[in-house]
Amino acid sequence: MLELVKSGGWPMIPLLLLSAVGLAIIVERFWALRRKAVLPPGLGPEVRAWAARGKLDPTHIDSLRRNSPLGALLAAALDVRHRPREEIRERVEDVGRHIAHRMERFLNALGTIAGAGPLLGLFGTVVGMIQMFLGVMDHGVGDVNQLAGGIGKALVCAAAGMIVAVPALVFHRYFRARVDGYIVDMEHEAIQLMDVIDPRARRAAAAVAAVPPDAQPVQA
């Protein structure tokens, strides 16, 4: 393996650097985008129960904000829980954009690696072919070793570029899809919380509960 890297020449250096950076991003995103770290199990129902009981002191909300991205989104809704539903929704959407941006951290860099890998491989191929033709000019076509060295460098660099780019592209798409799925789930949890803290919804529920069962209309 080391001999193949050496045979690729100096164009292999940026490819190796890209592969190291890409691997670091993939490992970091796998850790940061764990489901239990983004959407802790049971957090949504627990927060809705807090809101229904009115146990929402500032310290409690600040602790929720530091809990996870979902906690930060729900805490944003609780910060303005006494305002109209439209204002609560605007706050949730604004905070949600910032949370989505943080969850997509380094994904643009991973996409750049996926695009730059083949280009650097092509660059190494061109360098190898140039060296091969320069060798032909200096030594003629009789030097088989010179020709083989240039062709080998070209092929090694092209293969290395694809080896770097393919995993980076696959994981870039995978993490994008995971973030999109998290965003949908977080929006669902935020809507459910808004249904609980919406003053109009609470008044309607209280009015329905205050009506005796025998006074409610019977549906045919």
Task: Summarize pLDDT for 150-176 with one digit per residue, the tens.
Answer: 677 778 888 888 999 999 999 999 999
> What's the pLDDT score for residue 134?
72
| Span of 7-21, 76-90, 124-138, 196-210 with lowest mean pLDDT | 196-210
**How crowded is residue 205: how many other Cβ atoms within 10 Å of its Cβ?**
13
| Span of 53-57, 60-64, 127-131, 197-201 with lowest mean pLDDT | 197-201
Work out the average pLDDT over 19-48: 93
Q: Angle at Cα 121 formed by Cα 116 and Cα 123, nearest 5°?
A: 95
**Are 132 and 150 a contacting pair, CB within 8 Å?**
yes
How far is Cα 213 from Cα 210, in angstroms, rounded to an integer?
9
Which of 80-97 are b and which e, b meaning 16 or more Cβ less than 10 Å from the residue's Cβ?
ebeeeeeebeebbeebbe
Name the amino acid, one letter, at 68.
S
* Percentage of the chain lying above the pLDDT 90 cut: 44
> What's the pLDDT score for residue 179?
95
179's CB contacts (< 8 A; 6+ apart) are: 33, 100, 103, 104, 107
**How crowded is residue 196: how many other Cβ atoms within 10 Å of its Cβ?**
17
